[in-house]
Chain A
Amino acid sequence: MADGLAIELRAVTKQYKRDEFTVPVLESLDLVVREGEFLALMGPSGSGKTTLLNLIAGLDYASSGEVIVHGQDLGRLSEGQITRWRANNVGFIFQLYNLIPVLTAFENVELPLLLTNLNRKRRRENVMTALRAVGLSEREDHYPRQLSGGQEQRVAIARAIVTDPYLLVADEPTGDLDRKSAEEILNLLEQLNSEFDKTIIMVTHDPIAAQKAHRLLHLDKGQLIGDVVQVPRLGAAS
């Protein structure tokens, strides 16, 4: 982007309907994330971290306000358009990896590429590149059940990056891992951010994981209550 902004949220509000009640989750939230930034979102359960992540990733629509990602106002996209937009722009990393158990590591990573027009040979090249990037090229034929938790999460990261998305969103990517595996995953995310210039938004409860980010946002009751810049070179966003 010319202005170097990856994400811009303007007065974003999100409410959920629970029967006759309206539950406010995010209230008039403003946020700017620069390109190539590695942002960590922290806060207690129910503070709205995952909801914010879902809005940025185009999984949900804001009740009001604007969510602009990579220059695109997501509120203006239909369901079909936003689905295509996600396929082209966002890579997802989940806490429980969410690999398809009946597919091999290779086939799991290949899934997003099935939506493209790439031929079989090009898909194979891209998948192997992604698997090499996470250090699992020799495990391409292994099923998720044959991999450790850390390895599964690395395959999930390979699936997230295989289409070379603009943005990576990670919802507690180390939440189900032991410390050593968590460290490997965080280093990998750090590497994707520094070497490949990926913008990363990570929700976490883990302060150690949050330290890897350039910037740390604290959410509570749907409002930003803290914005800490941890890496001076990127500068403060708010």
Chain B
Amino acid sequence: MKYFTYIFRNIRRNKLRSFLTIASVSACLFLASILASFTAINEEAASGTRDFNRLVTMSSQGLGAVVPIVRLNEIRGLGGVEFATPFSWYGGKLGEEIQPFAQFGVDAETIFKVYEELVVPPEDQKAFIQDRAGCVIGRKMATERKYQVGDKIPLKGTIYPFNLDLTVRGIYDSPPKSDGRMCFFHWDYLEEGLKRDFKGDRAGNAGVIMIRCNNSKVMPDLSKNIDAAYSNSDTPTKTQTEEAFSKMFAEYFGNFKDVISLVGIVVVLSLIFVTGNAMAMAMRERTTEMAVLKAIGFSNGRIMFLVLAESTLIAAAGGLIGAVGSKLMLDAYDISKFFAGFLAFFYVPWSVALIGLAVSIGIGFLSGLIPAISAARLSVINGLRKVV
């Protein structure tokens, strides 16, 4: 602690260089924390669905293919199934916004039974069921876009050649770590458009079928049975838990986790080089001072400590601003609204922020190692000869 003044003053000695070094560390760790949070949040969002005993039946050919709607009633009749609803992506455009939020054609009667954690007032639900062009939207979406019950949402088809003119009939509330920006409308309304304006192409299908089971124990057998029943049909299915489905959905974007790990390694290496270069420059400028400190009795170990403490403090300051700053900033400002329903919520978990801070400390230590060893090995005579 008694060396703190010396270390702190040296950090402030070349303010611009220290600022730029801290800024580069903080900017990189800010982005790295956000990227790392994607993985952590996807895992959390997926595992958060475990309690709801839901299965998802999709085409075995992937999300680009569909499941015949006749399967819905067949599945509803299976033992262990409590409720099931079609779940069809519309992908409409709102004004100039392309994919402003997620819109799904669903069965109005059962959607909030399958998604029991989404709560909509009974009178709103009734109004939704009664209005074929009605929709229910999430509270976050309603708040951000200032929608109220009765407002119109005119969606322009981007996948299908017809538009949907929806009316908000209800607003659902959802737990904090779930999607509060979905828009549910009648699957029948989508079907009607397909038959009317798409020559019936793709009509009679659902994107996927969401199933709520009466308990988790039936889920393994149930999923096997569903898929086995359709394995020899023209439209074989793949049934999996909602958690597995979410993870698979995330993997559609590629091996995100490995990409993030690779980006993280590159970021750490480049920061070691940037900070190491700054420290090496600082030490070159201070060769004589280091020699003086050694002359008056500072040991090699103390010299190393002073250099390492300085580089570690600089990098840790960057880490604090970048990693912990990203946590605080994204707690205050929700950026999940920009993900068009692909990300239900977003925040930087404390674990990610603290790992970021620890990484910055490691960066500081490693980047200071070579300058510290050089300073410790400096010959006093050679160091003093520079000016004497």
Please judge, given known A-B contacts A54-B381, A59-B381, A102-B12, whether A92 and B6 are in contact too, CB under 8 Å.
Answer: no
Contact with A along B3-21 (1 / 0, CB 8 A): 1011001101100000000
Q: B296 to A96, Cβ gap below 8 A? A: no
Q: A114 to B3, Cβ gap below 8 A? A: yes
Q: Tell me the smallest distance from the CB of B281 to a CB of chain A, in Å.
A: 16
* Closest residue on chain A to residue B296 by CB atoms: A112
CA distance A67 to B10 in the complex (A): 37
Please judge, given known A-B contacts A86-B295, A87-B296, A159-B296, whether A98 and B6 are in contact too, CB under 8 Å.
Answer: no
Q: B6 to A84, Cβ gap below 8 A? A: no
A4 at interface, CB cutoff 8 A: no
Residues of B within 8 A of A103 (CB): 5-6, 9
Q: Tell me the smallest distance from the CB of B297 to a CB of chain A, in Å.
A: 2
CA distance A166 to B387 in the complex (A): 26
Q: A107 to B388, Cβ gap below 8 A? A: no
B384 at interface, CB cutoff 8 A: yes
Q: Tell me the smallest distance from the CB of B29 to a CB of chain A, in Å.
A: 27
Residues of A within 8 A of B296 (CB): 86-87, 92, 111-112, 159
Q: Tell me the smallest distance from the CB of A80 to a CB of chain B, in Å.
A: 6
Q: B381 to A80, Cβ gap below 8 A? A: no
Interface size on B (CB < 8 Å)? 25
Q: A59 to B6, Cβ gap below 8 A? A: no
- Interchain pairs with CB closer than 8 A, number: 72
Please judge, given known A-B contacts A83-B297, A84-B299, whether A98 and B5 are in contact too, CB under 8 Å.
Answer: no
Please judge, given known A-B contacts A86-B295, A159-B296, whether A94 and B12 are in contact too, CB under 8 Å.
Answer: no
Q: A98 to B289, Cβ gap below 8 A? A: yes
From A86, A94, A107, A171, contact of B5 by CB (8 A): A107
Q: A112 to B297, Cβ gap below 8 A? A: yes
Contact with A along B284-317 (1 / 0, CB 8 A): 0000110011111111101000000000000000
Please judge, given known A-B contacts A114-B2, A114-B3, whether A98 and B292 are in contact too, CB under 8 Å.
Answer: yes
Residues of A within 8 A of B288 (CB): 98
Q: Tell me the smallest distance from the CB of A212 to a CB of chain B, in Å.
A: 21
Chain B binding surface SS class: helix
Q: Tell me the smallest distance from the CB of A176 to a CB of chain B, in Å.
A: 10
B380 at interface, CB cutoff 8 A: yes
The residues in B between 259 and 295 inclusive whose CB is less than 8 angstroms from any CB of A are 288-289, 292-295
Please judge, given known A-B contacts A83-B297, A112-B296, A115-B297, whether A102 and B381 are in contact too, CB under 8 Å.
Answer: no
* Closest residue on chain A to residue B1 by CB atoms: A120
Interface residues of A (CB under 8 A from B): 50, 54, 57, 59-60, 79-80, 83-84, 86-88, 92, 94-96, 98, 100-103, 107, 111-112, 114-115, 120, 159, 171-172
Please judge, given known A-B contacts A94-B384, A98-B387, whether A107 and B6 are in contact too, CB under 8 Å.
Answer: yes
Residue pairs across A and B with Cβ atoms less than 8 A apart, 7 shown, are A59-B384, A60-B381, A83-B294, A83-B298, A98-B292, A115-B297, A171-B388
Residues of A within 8 A of B294 (CB): 83
- 5 closest A-B pairs by beta carbon, nearest first, are A87-B297, A102-B9, A98-B292, A96-B387, A59-B380
Q: B293 to A50, Cβ gap below 8 A? A: no
Interface residues of B (CB under 8 A from A): 2-3, 5-6, 9-10, 12-13, 288-289, 292-300, 302, 380-381, 384, 387-388
* Closest residue on chain A to residue B292 by CB atoms: A98
Q: A100 to B6, Cβ gap below 8 A? A: yes
CA distance A95 to B386 in the complex (A): 12
Residues of A within 8 A of B300 (CB): 79-80, 83
From A88, A94, A111, contact of B388 by CB (8 A): A94
Residues of B within 8 A of A172 (CB): 388
* Closest residue on chain B to residue A95 by CB atoms: B388
Residues of A within 8 A of B297 (CB): 83-84, 86-88, 112, 115
* Closest residue on chain A to residue B301 by CB atoms: A80
Residues of A within 8 A of B384 (CB): 59, 94, 98
Please judge, given known A-B contacts A98-B289, A102-B10, whether A115 and B298 are in contact too, CB under 8 Å.
Answer: yes
Most buried by B among A96, A103, A107, A114: A114
* Closest residue on chain A to residue B3 by CB atoms: A114
* Closest residue on chain B to residue A102 by CB atoms: B9
Residues of B within 8 A of A80 (CB): 299-300
Q: A100 to B289, Cβ gap below 8 A? A: yes
Q: B5 to A59, Cβ gap below 8 A? A: no
Q: B9 to A92, Cβ gap below 8 A? A: no
Q: Tell me the smallest distance from the CB of B60 to a CB of chain A, in Å.
A: 69
Q: Tell me the smallest distance from the CB of B377 to a CB of chain A, in Å.
A: 10
CA distance A208 to B5 in the complex (A): 40
Please judge, given known A-B contacts A59-B380, A59-B381, A98-B288, whether A92 and B295 are in contact too, CB under 8 Å.
Answer: yes
Residues of A within 8 A of B387 (CB): 94-96, 98
CA distance A101 to B285 in the complex (A): 12
Residues of B within 8 A of A59 (CB): 295, 380-381, 384
* Closest residue on chain A to residue B13 by CB atoms: A102
Q: Tell me the smallest distance from the CB of A90 to a CB of chain B, in Å.
A: 8
Residues of A within 8 A of B298 (CB): 83, 87, 115
